[in-house]
């Protein structure tokens, strides 16, 4: 024989402590838009370099672009999902972490853009109309432009984060 059903309704299930909730205000914030643009320009930068024949200091530019593309992707999704508190030690200083990331990225993208501009100048001899051999000039030119765009975007997001910090705000959004 089965026991009678309970007279009280079961308690409401609470949201799990580790539940994932999309932070929609971040998507429309200036930093969210800048992060998407940084990801797009960064991908264009390293794909442009990776598809050309490169050597020497261009390896550093490729390293910088892939490293900061991956770090930006991580920062974007941790902020979007509201999970930055899970990052040990740094989660409580998330705005400061974002500003430090952006300043370092702007500095290293500036160096990478300089490298790509130098490589473009070194390959300018093959920018002739009827030059018969393959030439990396156009790839290096496109990479230098993408690097400059990345440098500007990271500089803008660093200034935005510094502005929020100066206003006394602790959150990214």
Q: What is the pLDDT of residue 74?
A: 94
What pLDDT score was predicted for residue 61?
95
Using pLDDT thresholds of 50, 70 and 90, give the confidence band for residue 9: low
The pLDDT-based confidence of 65 (bands split at 50, 70, 90) is very high
Question: Domain tally for the chain?
Answer: 1
**Cβ–Cβ under 8 Å, residues 158 and 106:** yes
CB 127 within 8 A of CB 141: no
Indicate the DSSP class of residue 24: H
Query: Residue 102 belongs to what domain range?
Result: 38-167
Place of tokens 């024949």: 53
Tell me, what's the pLDDT at 15?
Answer: 45
Tokens of 102: 């952006």
6 located within any domain: no
pLDDT tens-digit series, residues 88-111? 878 778 899 999 999 999 999 999
Residue 24 lies in a domain: no
The candidate with the shortest Cα–Cα distance to 65, out of 30, 120, 116, is 116
Distance CA 149, CA 146 (A): 5
Give per-residue pLDDT as tens, 103-148: 999 999 999 999 999 998 888 777 777 777 777 888 899 999 999 9
Domain-embedded: residue 3: no
Helix (H, G, I), strand (E, B) or coil at 156: helix
């Amino acid at each position: 024989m089965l026991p009678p059903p309970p007279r009280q309704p079961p308690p409401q299930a609470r949201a799990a402590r580790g539940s994932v909730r999309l932070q929609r205000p971040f998507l429309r914030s200036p930093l969210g838009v800048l992060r998407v643009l940084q990801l797009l320009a960064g991908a264009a930068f390293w794909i442009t370099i990776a598809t050309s024949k490169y050597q020497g200091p261009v390896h550093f530019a490729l390293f910088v672009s892939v490293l900061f593309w991956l770090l930006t992707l991580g920062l974007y999704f941790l902020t979007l999902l509201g999970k930055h508190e899970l990052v040990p030690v740094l989660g409580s200083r998330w705005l400061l972490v974002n500003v430090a990331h952006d300043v370092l990225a702007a500095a290293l993208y500036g160096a990478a853009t300089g490298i790509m501009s130098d490589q473009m100048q070194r390959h300018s001899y093959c920018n002739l109309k009827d030059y018969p051999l393959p030439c990396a000039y156009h790839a290096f030119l496109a990479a230098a432009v993408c690097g400059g765009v990345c440098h500007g975007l990271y500089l803008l997001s660093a200034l935005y984060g510094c502005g929020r910090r100066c206003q006394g705000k602790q959150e990214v959004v």
